[in-house]
Amino acid sequence: MTEEECRGGHDFAVIEAIAAKAKEENLGLIPILQRTQETIGYLPKEALRTLAELLHVPYSKVFGVATFYAQFHLTPRGRHIIQQCDGTACHVKGGPRIRRVIEEALGIPPGETTSDLKATYEIVYCLGSCGLAPAAMVDGKVVGRLTQDKMKRILASME
């Protein structure tokens, strides 16, 4: 497998360095995947295949771990991350209306990233902010007591 084939545009040397350092430090697979994602921004399948080869671990194991944990992403993420709560309190207090606003503004359903990589939209099932329902987390910051207009303003302010 050539460097170009395996890396899908990602620098093979970077992945190789992560694997080599992980072997030195006797790291497990999860920390290796975390470092790879921190470096590349997500876990492309080519990187998973490369890690499997370099670590002498079956690809199925690497892929299985990467897809089991929600912290890992196999596709590029947007510059802005919108996580809308759909827990009971948020749902009952207007979550579906907020969802329609987000979907319309971004032009994508939950679980997707805009084609320009501006935003990734996700549904989560509790932000621990039930008293602020309906709530969302935008770029790591909880925003609550959302109305359709407030959500539109938040989305419009994103660069």
6 known ligand binder? no
- If one counts every other C-beta atom within 10 angstroms of the C-beta of residue 5, the result is 11
> CA-CA distance, 71 to 33, in Å (whole number)?
10
Cβ atoms 43, 73 nearer than 8 A? yes
Pairing of strands 136-138, 119-124: unpaired
**Residue 126 assigned as binding residue:** yes
Complete edge-to-edge strand list for the sheet that includes strand 136-138: 112-113, 119-124, 80-85, 136-138, 141-143
Residue 83 bridge partners (DSSP): 122, 137
Binding residues: 85, 90, 126, 130
Binding residues for [2Fe-2S] cluster: 85, 90, 126, 130
